Amino acid sequence: MKTILVTGGAGFIGSNFVRHVLARTAQYRVVNLDLLTYAGNLENLKDVERDERYAFVKADIADARAVERVFAEHAVDLVVNFAAESHVDRSIVDPEVFVRTNVLGTQVLLDRARAAGVERYLQVSTDEVYGSLGPQDKAFTEEHPIRPSSPYSASKAGADHLVHAVAHTFGLPAVITRCSNNYGPYQFPEKLIPLMISNALEGKELPVYGDGKNVRDWLHVDDHCSAILRALEAGKAGAVYNIGGASEMENIEVVRLILRAVNRPESLIRFVKDRPGHDRRYAIDAARIRQELGWEPACRFQDGIAETVRWYLEHRDWWERVKAGEYRKYYEMMYAGR
Ligand code: NAD
Ligand code: TYD
């Protein structure tokens, strides 16, 4: 049995990945290292916490001593780094913690992974490192220049460069995956889709930035998890793989779809002041992972969003608790001036 060290496993994608690995494979043990910031929630993993192939450690990826202890206590074979500050709006208000966790934290993990001689290190990155596209531009390939434009995406790009440098200089068998926007169960309700679903269910306004015509390329979180597992097991050392489902949509279309799904009126939509530096469009060309690794997304956006709306309807207690917690302070601060 091999051990995967999953960092950030108590967050949205990480918790879905932990569940995915335990449910679909028999050959891995998972050690989940997470600092439990505002975005980390052990409730996301209640159903697997007693699984004997699962262990949780509360630690900071930027704390070299703590990370060293985890490597000393567990014979880590593979690392998947999800741990990050992940919200663009927060990075505009307070970029420092993004540099600490996303850049310094990645370097600490790389150092330890190299010292332990792991079989594979996978860095979970984002399409946002490529910057923004115009309406007629071709979708991002892995060859697209790295041109991040928010403090969040700049910190993720910094991490990607460090991964590349350690792979190149020391031969660490590392892979980078760059995925488009995810949606699905357990997403923290400050991101577009869960925020809009939960606000609509609460009868609150839906704050749409600018003209609502910014375009994102949506992928169901389960499809992201299957792509990561595939890249972890079969990806070429040193390679970058884009992950996306070719599901481009304007934000306003997504919001209208959600309102129809929960049977609430469009009068709840409120156009608010735009996000500073707001990237206009992201679109992913995922030909490499499809052709080289045979990965295909299984979920169409229309089906995935219907299923996701049902999940939020059935887990109202989960998001009400999250929204009543630390998130409330942030939400009030963000919207005070809008
Ligand atoms: P999230 O904010 O829901 O979860 C992040 C997790 O990391 C939380 O559990 C948090 O407690 C943990 N964490 C934060 N700082 C830490 C630290 N210093 N040490 C240890 N743990 C720490 O994020 P997410 O949406 O699940 O994203 C996961 C990863 O996927 C990120 O690296 C993000 O950049 C990347 N990504 C996300 C998307 C998306 O649409 N959400 C798309 C592409 C890539
Ligand atoms: P978000 O979920 O924050 O992801 P990202 O910025 O990483 O793509 O936002 C997705 C899109 O939705 C983005 O164009 C910003 C927009 N948005 C709104 O219009 N209103 C909101 O309240 C939020 C959170 C996002």
Cβ-in-10-Å burial (0-12, 13-18, 19+) of 93 comes to: exposed
pLDDT in tens, the chain (338 residues): 999 999 999 999 999 999 999 999 999 999 999 999 999 999 999 999 999 999 999 999 999 999 999 999 999 999 999 999 999 999 999 999 999 999 999 999 999 999 999 999 999 999 999 999 999 999 999 999 999 999 999 999 999 999 999 999 999 999 999 999 999 999 999 999 999 999 999 999 999 999 999 999 999 999 999 999 999 999 999 999 999 989 999 999 999 999 999 999 999 999 999 999 999 999 999 999 999 999 999 999 999 999 999 999 999 999 999 998 765 555 556 555 55
- What is the 192 CA–ligand 2 centroid distance (Å)? 5
First to last CA, the chain: 52
The tokens describing 107, both together, are 């370097």
Q: What is the CA radius of gyration of the chain?
A: 19
Q: Which atom of ligand 2 is nearest to the CA of 275?
A: 15
Nearest CA to ligand 2 atom 5: 88
Does residue 179's CB lie within 6 angstroms of at least one atom of ligand 2?
A: no
pLDDT reported for residue 325: 79
Residue 306 CB contacts under 8 Å (≥ 6 apart), including other chains: 261
Ligand showing the shortest atom-to-Cα distance for residue 178: 1
Tell me which fold the domain 2-336 belongs to. Rossmann fold (3.40.50)
Looking at all shown ligands, the one closest to residue 126's CA atom is 1
> Domain locations in the chain?
2-336
**Gap between the Cα atoms of 107 and 95, Å rounded:** 18
The two three-digit tokens of residue 61, written as one number: 């990826």
Max CA distance (Å), the chain: 57
Q: Which residue numbers are catalytic?
A: 127-128, 152
Q: How far is the CA of 191 from the centre of ligand 2 (A)?
A: 6
Residue in the block written with tokens 């994102």: 216
Ligand 1 mutation pick, 16, 37, 130, max ligand atoms within 8 A of CB: 37
Round to whole Å and give the CA distance between 110 and 120.
11
DSSP per-residue letters across 72-108:
HHS---EEEE--S---HHHHHH--HHHIIIIIIHHHH
Residue to substitute in 58, 86, 220, 279 for testing ligand 1 pocket (most ligand atoms within 8 angstroms of CB)? 86
Within 8 A by CB and 6+ apart from 333, the residues are: 93
Residue-wise burial string across 167-203, b where 16 or more C-beta atoms lie within 10 A, e elsewhere: beeeebbbbbbbbbbbbbbbbbbbbbbbbbbbbbbee
Q: Indicate which residue's Cα is closest to atom 17 of ligand 2.
A: 192
What tokens were used for 67? Answer: 């990370």
Cα 44 to Cα 23, 31, 99, 187, 212, distances in angstroms: 15, 15, 26, 10, 31
Residues in CB range of 211: below 8 A, 6 or more apart: 252, 271
pTM of structure:
0.97
Question: Which residue type, as a one-letter code, is found at position 57?
Answer: V
How far does the centroid of ligand 1 lie from the alpha carbon of residue 255, in Å? 24
